[in-house]
A and B are shown apart, each in its own frame.
Chain A
Amino acid sequence: MNRKFFINTALGFAAGLGAARLVKSRQDRQRRLSFRNTGPRKVLIIGATSAIAAETARFFAAAGDDLFLVGRNPQKTAAVTNDLQVRGANRVEYRLQDLADTAQHANLLAAAIEWLGGLDIVLIAHGTLGNQKACQAGYDLTEKELTTNFLSVVSLLTPLANHFEQQQRGAIAVISSVAGDRGRQSNYVYGAAKAGVSAFLQGLRNRLAKSGVAVITIKPGFVDTPMTAGIEKGRLFVGPEVVAKGIYQAIETGQDVVYLPWFWGGIMTVIKHIPESIFKRLSL
């Protein structure tokens, strides 16, 4: 069994799904989210210097929204802030925070909500693709990876969920990954963290459905960003602006789970269906 075979089969399958999706997305667009009132939307972006997040933020900027950004590197965060300001955001502010420091999260969110004067949309995007081999060598790095990619997200979502539940509207979007759909030897620490994020969001969506809050799980495939700088780029790679457009549309239409680009839905359906007895022998 080789990898190419799976990818080809999956792509064929995905084409079929794609057609079905097109019909669905048109329906979705017709019932645009009702939380959009007339003024600028209040948008919080966490991990704002991520290539994917910064590209997504441009759509909100072009729409004239209010943006509060969280990043950890002063130069990068300021650069993204200025970019969004010039591109038409109504107001932009940022705050620096290492998100692994979960003790600071409550303060951080309070500051954001105060500056924005409320909260309509939050996008959580930070993450690290840690070195799997190094994680295997010792728990210290593994713990760090799980903190950044899973625990810090949970720490942010816990108070955020309560806030949104109370106000009975809004959208919570989080970037998970296709890597969370099935563990593979090449990146299962990262995959486990993302699987945790996806499962957490699933439950949260179930809880917040009755409050009219959209919980959106974003599962990108391969994206050409600094995170993947060291990886050789195959044909399935897309630029962050492609994924960003998908994220923005998913938020605007209040989707549940989106694979980006869409064909990853097909690929992952196939991959998830490979029997474990075979899967465990593949070099993936």
Chain B
Amino acid sequence: MKQYQSWGRYFKYTHQVHKIRWPGRAETVLQTTNRLVLPFGMGRSYGDSCLNDGGLLLDTTPMNRFMAFNRKKGLLRCEAGVTLAEILKVIVPHHWFLTVTPGTKFVTVGGAIANDVHGKNHACAGTFGCHVTQFELLRSSGERLLCSPAKNPDWFRATIGGLGLTGLILWAEIKLKPIAGPYIEEDIIKFGNLEEFFDIAAESEANYEYTVAWLDSLSHGQSLGKGLFMRGNPAKPPYTHMPHRPSGLRVTVPLNAPNFALNRLTMRAFNLLYYEKELSKIKRRLVHYEPFFYPLDAVHQWNRIYGPRGFMQYQCVVPYNDGYQAIKTIVHKMATSGLNPFLNVFKTFGDYPSPGLMSFPQKGVTLAIDFPNQGRATLDLQTEIDAIVREAGGVSGYAAKDSRISAADFQHFFPQWAEFSRFVDPKFSSSFWRRVTTR
């Protein structure tokens, strides 16, 4: 049976759970419960923003019906529990794609809106919320609000990136993007240090829709910040060949891999393998969208390799203006910490504004780092990085990822939180929200 944990498996909380297959059930639960309530999608948030310790979770995944698909205009309307994976199955054969997608397709539409998620194309497409044309919100009072940029615009703004706190999104309509086929023309480029990374990033900005970089977090000194830069554009026919789509799910990590499964040695081996795998400096290839957008989805439950203690993901965004000094300091700190940062991903955010009041992205370079949970030291390092980010005028404390930011830091990074809290439904709350709003 489904486990009501977040992706980092760090918090061990208990909940009462109600599965919501029909909106009427949610209405009844909201009316009768005297507990605090939170919607729960696929639990792909790393920290505690999808958790509600001691409270009630509304599991929205059974509420997963499509409502309408306008194949001419590329408008899709579906219930909030539909996953991006299901959407792709339906739309790709008709030459449509998600305008914005995060690095896993196993998230619900409700979850993607509530965290206003971003992908590898922020500069040209913004966040998921930028392409939501309307949705319906159920409040605990029983009131239903149809929200769009024109109708109830303040609720529209508050609910996009609204952390599941403004009410239950019942359904949403999203604008899709046309594609010629399911393939991506991808370049993989090696970079030897951070300077090279920034150069390639700048050079790729104009001509590539999708960019992302993977950083070897364990090398320091000369090769501090070496890694792979991946960029791509939707491929146009005629195709040189048809790359096959990797078949379904191939591997599942067994339940509760031991804590030592991910020791420094295996990580180094993994990082090396990843780096050495691409031998030439630039490699161009035609790939199916699956491995391009969702490389981690091939290994089911990969979060279990961190063992029962779990892990945390840290994500921040730092503006360009300081010559990347902050990023260099952070990468150096992380590489020399001995805390085994594992998967590290760079993306760039552009100017594209989101309607979301609490939305995370701002222009700059964003870095996401996975840390195995090693207790106090892991927490302290992230707090130190927060200080660097703060100094550089960046933002940390992305709710989709965060497990530990202090209330003071969060409120510094999201000064609009006070305005937002007026929209929080009196019966809704999360462990995350309680953590970042109480001093």
A residues neighboring B (CB under 8 Å) = 51, 54, 76, 79-80, 82-83, 86-88, 224-226, 229, 233, 235, 237
Contacts and interface: CB of A to CB of B under 8 A. Distances in A.
Contacts of B66: 82-83, 86-87
Contacts of B62: 51
A224 B67 contact: no
Contact of A82 (B19, B25, B65): B65
B69 A226 contact: no
A86 B69 CA distance: 6
B21 A226 contact: yes
Contacts of A51: 21, 62
A109 to B, nearest CB: 26
B68 A224 contact: no
Given A86-B68, A224-B1, 14 more contacts: A79-B65, A79-B79, A82-B65, A83-B65, A83-B67, A86-B69, A87-B66, A88-B90, A224-B19, A226-B21, A226-B25, A233-B1, A235-B1, A237-B1
B302 interface: no
Contacts of A88: 90
Nearest to B76: A86
B22 interface: yes
A179 to B, nearest CB: 21
Contacts of A54: 65
A87 B18 CA distance: 26
Contacts of A226: 21-22, 25
Please name the 5 residue pairs, one residue from A and one from B, whose CB atoms are nearest each other, closest first: A86-B66, A83-B65, A86-B69, A83-B66, A82-B67
Contacts of B1: 224, 233, 235, 237
A87 B94 CA distance: 12
Interface residues of B, number: 15
B109 to A, nearest CB: 14
Contacts of A237: 1
Interface string B6-49: 00000000000011011001000000000000000000000000
Interface string B53-68: 0000000001001111
A229 B90 CA distance: 30
Interface of B: 1, 18-19, 21-22, 25, 62, 65-69, 78-79, 90
B56 to A, nearest CB: 14
B19 A229 contact: yes
Contacts of B67: 79, 82-83, 86
B93 to A, nearest CB: 9
A80 B67 CA distance: 9
24 contacts: A51-B62, A54-B65, A76-B22, A79-B65, A79-B79, A80-B65, A82-B65, A82-B67, A82-B68, A83-B67, A86-B67, A86-B69, A86-B78, A86-B90, A87-B66, A87-B90, A88-B90, A224-B1, A224-B19, A225-B21, A226-B22, A229-B18, A229-B19, A237-B1
A229 B19 CA distance: 8
A163 to B, nearest CB: 30
B222 to A, nearest CB: 52
Nearest to B17: A233
B106 to A, nearest CB: 15
A40 to B, nearest CB: 17
Nearest to B71: A86
- With a 10 A CB-CB cut-off, give which of A86, A225, A229 has the most chain B CB atoms: A86
A54 to B, nearest CB: 8
A145 to B, nearest CB: 22
Contacts of B18: 229
A51 B25 CA distance: 14
Contacts of B90: 86-88
Contacts of A229: 18-19, 25
Contacts of A80: 65
Nearest to A237: B1
A157 to B, nearest CB: 28
A80 B63 CA distance: 11
Nearest to A235: B1
A76 to B, nearest CB: 6
Nearest to A81: B65
Contacts of A76: 22
